[in-house]
Amino acid sequence: MKTQNRRFKEAIYEQFSRISKALSSPRRLELLDLLCQGPRTVEALAGEAGLSVANTSQHLRALRIARLVEASKEGQFVTYSLADEAVGEFFHTLRHLAERRLTEIEQLVQQYLAQREGLEPVDQEQLLSQVRKGAVIALDVRPPEEYRAGHIPGALSVPLAELEQRLAKLPKSKTIVAYCRGPYCVLAIEAVELLRRQGFKAVRLEDSVQDWRRRGYRVAVGEQP
Catalytic amino acids? Answer: 180
The 10 Å Cβ neighbour count of residue 224 is 14
The phi, psi pair for 110, rounded to 5°, reads: -65, -40
Q: How far is it, in rounded angstroms, from Cα 177 to Cα 202?
A: 6
Count of Cβ atoms closer than 10 Å to residue 189 Cβ: 18
Compute φ and ψ for 180, nearest 5 degrees. -145, -115
Q: Report helix angle 53-65 to 4-22, nearest 10.
A: 150
Q: Which residues, in sequence order, are bridge partners of residue 72?
A: 79
* Residue 144, phi-psi category: left (phi > 0), alpha (psi -120 to 50), beta (remainder): alpha
Neighbours of 219 (CB within 10 A): 13
Beta strands in the chain (DSSP E): 40-41, 69-74, 77-82, 137-140, 156-157, 176-179, 202-204
What is the rounded CA–CA span in Å between residue 152 and residue 171? 19
How does DSSP classify residue 220?
B
